[in-house]
Amino acid sequence: MITSLDAVFAAISDPTRRAILGMLLEDDMAVTDVADPFTMSLAAISKHLHVLTASGLISQEKRGRVKWCKLEPDAMREASIWMQSFGQFEAVNLEAFERFLAIELPDTTSEKLLD
């Protein structure tokens, strides 16, 4: 059984998904606007958005013909509390966490995580 904590860590393990979360810190965005800066297909971005939605990190809603994405920062709370319990992390720092993962899991690729 996958817990919400597992889903959050799986979602933020990918650099594309972390970039999307960073973009959504500014404001809600249409899916096409989220996809715009990336050199991948809209279908690939949709898969990333699905992972983020399933983990609760973002929500999506249709407004007219456009699907919008919104950051749900409370979904990160359990992960932040879990990391703080180790005393090594004062707050969630996604860039530092990315560096940690790159060192600890150098052979992990985003394709493996999407399977």
SS (H, E, C) the chain: CCCHHHHHHHHHCCHHHHHHHHHHCCCCEEHHHHHCCCCCCHHHHHHHHHHHHHCCCEEEEEECCEEEEEECHHHHHHHHHHHHCCCCCCCCCHHHHHHHHHHHCCCCCHHHHHC
Q: Tell whether the model's pLDDT for residue 111 goes beyond 50.
A: no
- Residue of 14, 75, 76, 83 lying closest to 47 (CA atoms): 14
CA distance 64 to 66: 6
**Domains along the chain?**
4-106 (1.10.10.10)
Q: What is the mean pLDDT of residues 87-103?
A: 70
pLDDT digits (tens, 9 = 90+) for 1-34: 456 889 999 999 999 999 999 999 999 999 999 9
Q: Tell whether the model's pLDDT for residue 112 goes beyond 80.
A: no
For 44, the token pair is 């690939």
pLDDT digits (tens, 9 = 90+) for 30-87: 999 999 999 999 999 999 999 999 999 999 999 999 999 999 988 888 888 887 777 6
